[in-house]
A and B are shown apart, each in its own frame.
Chain A
Amino acid sequence: MSLAVSPHYTRTAIALHWIAALLIVGNLGFGLYVAGLHLSPAKLRYLPWHKWIGVTVLLLSALRLLWRLGHAPPPLPATMGATQMRLARLSHALLYVLFFAAPLTGWLFGSASGIQTVYLGLVPLPDLIPKDKAVAVVLRAAHKWINYSLAALIAVHVAAALKHHFHDRDDVLRRMLSPSRGPAT
């Protein structure tokens, strides 16, 4: 068995990346919109959707992390400097931390508000903490700032991918678009 790292992402890794990207970016925008609505029947109808997408992101992120443990991502291009590589690894680690922190603070916020999450209207999730208004206020702020941080880091992630593609002219972006792309083995 070879321990050599494949120069390609697996089809699964690519599919999970783009599904997660769609759900995360979509739910960031949707969450911002719903949070800005005054309390109305529409808001009560939309909130469960926001929660369900968040729970899906949580599950997907766990799945991606497990997949990543079994299938190492392709190495970074050798043209990258040591500092740049460190920053790339750090930003990816931070992205994963936020992928978990964002939905978890949302779940905690819902629990502290006394509004249970019932995933897809079918699966009741346990309340993580008891109902407490003061705690709910803190968690709401935490959820908000963690998601602002996530949005900012995603912007950096996208900018870096575009920089790699258009400026450095390497395969970093292309290999996340197709499993056949990447440097020849």
Chain B
Amino acid sequence: MKAFAALALAAALAVPAAHAQQKVIADKSFIRFALTQMGISVEGRFRKFDAAVAFDPAKPEATRGEFSVDLASIDLGTPESETEAKRKPWLDVQGFPQAKFTSASVKALGGGRFEARGPLTIKGNTHDIVAPFTVAESNGVRIVDGQFLLKRLQYKVGEGEWADTDTVADDITVHFRFALPLK
């Protein structure tokens, strides 16, 4: 057992620190979402989020990324809907202030396209998601841009009377863009 632990430790230390994790450039990044309310697309975003990412397009499998979203920073169309979104049936920001995503694996799809996979935790519920994204470089900044489909009911976002998907659909499209410094 001891030998195994030592081996594991050695293996862990042996992982080369190819590149350190970087903070995203907040004002060039965003997390937006679109939900369908009575058949009409309604957009929103989160103003505050944080991410530390180590990503090298040449070695996508070595990617490490930790993302957290401050759910109370939700921006919707009206103060009334923002208040409702923060309440218990929806995001319950008092009980669960943050959503978290850990990029467990990234694979290259070719042509500047990649796919991140990992657990997303919202409101204490964790499910794996797959998020395809593209990478582009300009002006010393690497732009990671992608989107994924979030099934809100899997995370108990919109409970009770709000579980009715005829009024607010289960599918929420999340569109993210993260700007990372190249150096």
A118 nearest CB neighbor, chain B only: B40
A134 to chain B, nearest CB (A): 10
A97 in the interface (beta carbon within 8 A): no
Q: Which residues of B contact A (CB under 8 A)?
A: 37-43, 76-81, 83-84, 161-162, 164, 167-168
A40-B161, A44-B38, A118-B40 known; A113 and B167 CB under 8 Å? no
Q: A114-B43, A116-B41 are in contact. List 13 more A-B contacts (CB 8 A).
A: A39-B81, A39-B84, A41-B161, A44-B37, A45-B167, A113-B77, A115-B77, A116-B40, A131-B77, A133-B77, A133-B78, A133-B79, A137-B79
Residue pair B161, A115 in contact (C-beta under 8 Å)? no
B44 nearest CB neighbor, chain A only: A114
State which of B37, B79, B84 has its C-beta within 8 Å of the C-beta of A115.
B37
A132 to chain B, nearest CB (A): 9
Per the CB 8 Å criterion, the residue count for chain A at the interface is 18
A131 nearest CB neighbor, chain B only: B77
Residue pairs across A and B with CB atoms within 8 Å: the count is 42
A70 in the interface (beta carbon within 8 A): no
A121 in the interface (beta carbon within 8 A): yes
A residues less than 8 Å from B83 (CB atoms) = 39
A136 in the interface (beta carbon within 8 A): yes
